[in-house]
């Protein structure tokens, strides 16, 4: 991804990887937010 951005002329100033939470996974699978 960074190489593709760089080759297109974009400058990457920062990036991070975030572990998904159970809420993130539920939303991704169901398309709905978990209600408490």
- DSSP state for residue 8 in the 8-state scheme: T
pLDDT of residue 18: 93
More confident residue, 29 or 34: 29
Mean pLDDT of all residues in 1-30: 90
Give the C-alpha separation, 11 to 31, whole Å: 32
Q: Are 33 and 23 in contact (CB under 8 A)?
A: yes
pLDDT of residue 21: 94
What is the distance of C-alpha 28 from the center of its chain? 11
pLDDT averaged over the chain?
88
pLDDT, tens digit (0-9, with 9 covering 90-100), for 9-22: 998 888 889 999 99
- Say if residue 35's pLDDT is above 80: no
Q: Are 12 and 5 in contact (CB under 8 A)?
A: yes
6's CB contacts (< 8 A; 6+ apart) are 12
């Amino acid at each position: 991804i960074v190489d593709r951005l760089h080759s297109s002329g974009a400058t990457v100033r920062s990036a991070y990887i975030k572990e998904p939470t159970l809420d993130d996974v539920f939303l991704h699978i169901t398309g709905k937010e978990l209600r408490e």
